[in-house]
Chains A and B, each alone.
Chain A
Amino acid sequence: MSDSNERSRLSRAHWHDNLRVMGILLTIWFVTSILLSIVFVEPLNQFKLGGFPLGFWFAQQGSIYIFIVLILIYAVWMERIDRRYHLEAGKSDPKSEMSDGGIY
């Protein structure tokens, strides 16, 4: 198998994994923001979380925390997938090597 074939096979597999991660995370996004915070807010309000009616808490607090965590998981998970396929952002991109990275 030639190099370019191998590369395009890796690219397709990487894209496939990327789509799967997106699908999982966007499903959670939909469930918390649309279902728990809006569609089922009234039944959920019968339960309490401290001083909050539960549905109201999801709508005005919980969903936002979950959104933040979803993007964090996405950043970490995609980095692992990039490494598995040797498609790290820093590779073949000399400009970015000096400032590649997340937490600074």
Chain B
Amino acid sequence: MSIQAWTYLIVGLTFAVYLGIAAWSRAKTTSAFYVAGRGVPPLANGMATGADWMSAASFISMAGLISFMGYTGTIYLLGWTGGYVLLALLLAPYLRKYGRFTIPEFVGDRYYSQTARVVAVFCAVFVSFTYVAGQMRGVGVVFSRFLEIPVEAGVIVGVLIVFFYAVAGGMRGITYTQVAQYCVLIVAYIVPAAAISWKMTGNPVPQFGFGGTLVDGGAAAGGQSAGIALLEALDGIHRDLGLPEYTGAFVPGKKSMIDVLAITAALMVGTAGLPHVLIRFYTVPNARAARWSAFWALLFIGILYTTAPAVAAFARVNMIQTLHEQPYESAPEWFSNWEQTGLIEFQDKNGDGIIQYSGDAETNELRVDRDIMVLANPEIAELPAWVVALVAAGGLAAALSTAAGLLLVISSSVSHDLLKSVFWKDMSPRAELFAARAAAGVAVVIAGYLGIDPPGFVAQVVAFAFGLAAASFFPILLLGIFDTRTTKEGAIGGMLAGIGFTAAYIIWFRFVIPEAGADQWLFGISPEGIGIIGMFVNFAVTMVVSRMTPEPPAEVRQLVEEIRLPGGSRDD
């Protein structure tokens, strides 16, 4: 069977499963629609959180990014897992104990202010939309490469699937679909990684093969370096090509220590402030289940995140050894497959018909898009067609599951936090459920449009969503739980100051004077990492203003004391 036939078969099967789950889990109440009736067991919620969290970017792009960055790729690995420790210890159990349906609702109650709630709604919707556009784009790219249909048609198929299960099933449908999607994506990630690890190092566990030695097993396994440690071989290859060493930390050509620290911290704190992850903890029965669920979530995420850097290193060795100094005429089949997509490019600068890869931009003849590293990996390693198809299904699972989680945040923010609480206070539960479905439907369509025709700024802004979340949500949620003295004036001022400072810095250095170098950055921190300074600005403003304004009312103090205890619940 051809790759394409396998892809239709496996993708078709997984889609049938998702639709079956959606039909089975139709949401009939607002509680089922917003928080899956709070009956999700911690283990299942951990899987759903994993799929919710691991987006098209984690599945498709991350290993490729690390592959080109070497040590510096640590910013993603630590940033996107370390945040779960903050989430588990500082936020999840308390937000679960608080109950209710959304994050803006917590902000509004804790800060006794509709204004704070509306500010939170706009932050949540903005962050979620920039994210979801990227997911839809990922769906389109996978479809176009593996099923050879146009990106636009791929996005439309993705929109229809998500529309069906998110609108009908709400959080209940999304949760159980995400459990299935986690299983698909993790198998799709691990199978090729294990096969490549086994081929190259003789150890089928990628986490160990990563630190193993290369075996002599043909061109794909890098015969010429047999017998030496993979990472040592990789550092050697990099030196020969005039590139900074792969495992080298702050060597010239890589990010500085202060920048690595800032970006890592901004991603960690941003992770803990993302609404689509936080609301997953509303779906479990109680605070204790929320703690367990955070553990399961990070365990399931960690399986992929400890495999990714291994895949990155394997792909790097493979890519260079199969292409560098090889005649273009005899380039492997996957090379021409991917050449058609424009994601890999050979430009014969010295006209010798041989591919030369180099750290020097003048003589380098090979341009490889980081996004193809994971998708092309099974082909590079000459794995069977069904593995390639499985990877396509995994990429789709990762993109669809994250898109659905984000859409629910948008829908509940609009129907619950804006319509019900601001514009139409005596809305009946039936009308609210209808509004939630309608909002989800509209959001899916807008997301699809953004995926087909993304405005130029979307791709650039999505990388900053974490910094903005770190500078706006995280300090307010944290102080809301740990400091009873924080007032609404402090919180609103802090959110606006944090997000304002961060956005201004990003716009200044990214769009106004993009040519500015590290010497002009504040403390040498790039726009990607500035969210962490924005977070400190937010903390400072919130705490100072809070101490200059009247104390919060007694019932807020009581609310905070209540959510600090694990027992009982205020669910509605």
Contact = CB atoms under 8 A, between A and B. Distances in A.
13 contacts: A37-B74, A37-B78, A45-B247, A50-B212, A60-B73, A63-B78, A64-B306, A70-B85, A89-B566, A90-B567, A96-B285, A99-B39, A102-B289
B266 to A, nearest CB: 13
Interface of A: 11, 14-15, 18, 22, 25-26, 29, 33-34, 37-39, 41-42, 45, 49-53, 55-57, 59-61, 63-65, 67-68, 70-72, 74-75, 78-79, 82, 87-93, 95-96, 99-104
Given A52-B210, A53-B247, A99-B39, A79 B81 contact: no
B71 A56 contact: yes
A89 B288 contact: yes
A22 B92 CA distance: 13
A88 to B, nearest CB: 6
Given A61-B306, A71-B294, A71-B298, A56 B84 contact: no
B328 interface: no
A89 to B, nearest CB: 4
Contact of A93 (B84, B211, B229, B286): B286
Contacts of A96: 285-286, 289, 569
B232 A51 contact: yes
A22 B87 CA distance: 12
Given A67-B85, A93-B569, A102 B292 contact: yes
Contacts of A49: 211
Given A45-B247, A53-B231, A59 B71 contact: yes
Contacts of A45: 247, 249
Given A89-B567, A103-B43, A29 B82 contact: yes
Nearest to A34: B261
7 closest cross-chain pairs (CB), A and B: A51-B229, A89-B288, A102-B292, A51-B211, A89-B286, A60-B309, A59-B74
A95 B261 contact: no
Interface string B239-282: 00000000101100000010011001100100000000000000
B211 A39 contact: no
Contacts of B43: 103-104
Given A56-B71, A99-B285, A22 B305 contact: no
Given A33-B268, A52-B210, A78-B566, 5 more contacts: A11-B564, A49-B211, A50-B229, A51-B211, A71-B89
Contacts of B89: 22, 25-26, 71, 74
B77 A64 contact: yes
B311 to A, nearest CB: 11
B332 to A, nearest CB: 27
A72 B291 CA distance: 9
A8 B565 CA distance: 11
Nearest to A60: B309
Contact of B286 (A11, A61, A70, A90): A90
Nearest to A52: B211
A56 B566 CA distance: 39
B302 A65 contact: yes
Interface centre among B88, B250, B286 (most CB of A within 10 A): B286
B211 A25 contact: no
Contacts of B550: none
B359 interface: no
Most chain B CB atoms below 10 A, which of A22, A65, A75, A101: A75
B321 interface: no
B231 A52 contact: yes
A98 B309 CA distance: 41
B257 A50 contact: no
Contact of B257 (A38, A60, A93): A38
Contacts of B249: 41-42, 45, 55-56
A15 to B, nearest CB: 5
A104 B46 CA distance: 11
Nearest to A102: B292
Nearest to B38: A95
Nearest to A88: B567
B561 interface: yes
Interface string B547-572: 00000000000000100111111010
B41 A104 contact: yes
A61 B309 contact: yes
Contacts of B84: 67, 71
A91 B434 CA distance: 35
A64 B84 CA distance: 10
B295 interface: yes
A70 B66 CA distance: 25
Interface in B35-57: 38-39, 41-43
A29 to B, nearest CB: 5
Nearest to B96: A89
A65 B77 CA distance: 12
A68 B231 contact: no
Nearest to A87: B567
Contact of B247 (A39, A56, A99): A56
B299 interface: yes
B258 to A, nearest CB: 10
B207 interface: yes
Contacts of B261: 34, 38-39
Contacts of A22: 89-90
Interface in B18-38: 38
Interface in B207-238: 207-208, 210-213, 229-232
